[in-house]
Structure 1
Amino acid sequence: MIDKSDDYHEAATKIYANLERRSAWLITSDYVIDETVTWLRYKVGHNAAVEFWNRLHNSKITEIIRVDAEIVTGAWKTFLKYSDRFLKRLQACSLSKMGEGSCDNRGIKVK
């Protein structure tokens, strides 16, 4: 939604607007935000990274999970549990947090 030259910009903008209309609940972590801001900074530019940060922090439908030591420990346990599947560390953090019962993990699939 930030990079107007992206092939999927228009589709992403429409999808996000639809999610806002439906008051969907989006969840992400500060780790994901950091990675995205860094990527935008180097691929699109500083202004795009700032715009992303501001949009996200002003969003009424996005919850930001702060990854702390407890989540990191849980993520490692989740990572070990799914040794037979491809699982990124960030996904393990998300799954670990969801396992606490603080968010709904319907639709989450581990490859």
Structure 2
Amino acid sequence: MSMLVDTGAWYAVAEISDRHHEEASQFYANHAGRTPFVTTDLIVAETWALLNSHLGRSSALTFWETLRETRTPILTLESVDLEAAWRVAQAFPDQTFSFVDYTTFALMERLGINDVFAFDAHFLVYRFGRNR
């Protein structure tokens, strides 16, 4: 089964001063090649922007290169995901989920992905699979 990698995990692996860096780097090293990691087009864009603005263009390019070299599948949002994301937004009016969060939840549900590499507490709030 695939594991989705969220923006916070990508960032924590790249940023040495991030409070989750060591845990993220260890997890990534232990699972790379054994766990089929996937991510989304919007997570890639969000991660690129975050790395570029906080760590510079070189870090953003290294991230992109990593995706290319590891051939990490980049899942693409579909129109049905936008509709499902809207329903998630309506179901959780008290949460501060981002647009990327909403669409990621919808895409994960559609594809049956229940495992996530993330440090974003919103994934705990939303819950997936049999925990839902």
Structure 1 length-normalised TM: 0.75
Percent identity (aligned): 24
What is the match of residue 125 of structure 2?
A: 110
What is the match of residue 105 of structure 2?
A: 95
1:6-45 map, 5 Å:
6=18, 8-20=20-32, 23-45=34-56
Larger radius of gyration: 1
Equivalent residue letter for 1:50: L
2: distance between equivalents of 1:14 and 1:87? 27
Deviates more, 1:25-34 or 1:8-17: 8-17
User: How many pairs align?
Assistant: 108
Equivalent residue letter for 1:36: T
Instruction: Tell me the SS of whatever aligns to 1:27.
Output: strand
Instruction: After superposition, give the CA deviation of every residue in 1:30-84 in whole Å (9 maximum; x if it has no partner).
Output: 1111111111112111111000011023325x43211232221221112112234
CA apart distance, 1:6: 4.3
Higher relative contact order (CA 8 A, sep 6+): 2
1:4-83 map, 5 Å:
4-6=16-18, 8-20=20-32, 23-60=34-71, 62-83=72-93
CA change 1:50–1:104 in 2 (3 A) is: same
1: distance between equivalents of 2:107 and 2:39? 11
* Cα RMSD after superposing both structures: 2.5
CA contact (8 A) 1:86 1:110 kept: no
CA contact (8 A) 1:37 1:49 kept: yes
Equivalent residue letter for 1:33: V
What is the match of residue 10 of structure 2?
A: none
Unpaired runs of 5+ in structure 1? none
CA change 1:10–1:68 in 2 (3 A) is: same
1: distance between equivalents of 2:25 and 2:105? 27
Equivalent residue letter for 2:61: V
Deviates more, 1:38-47 or 1:10-19: 10-19
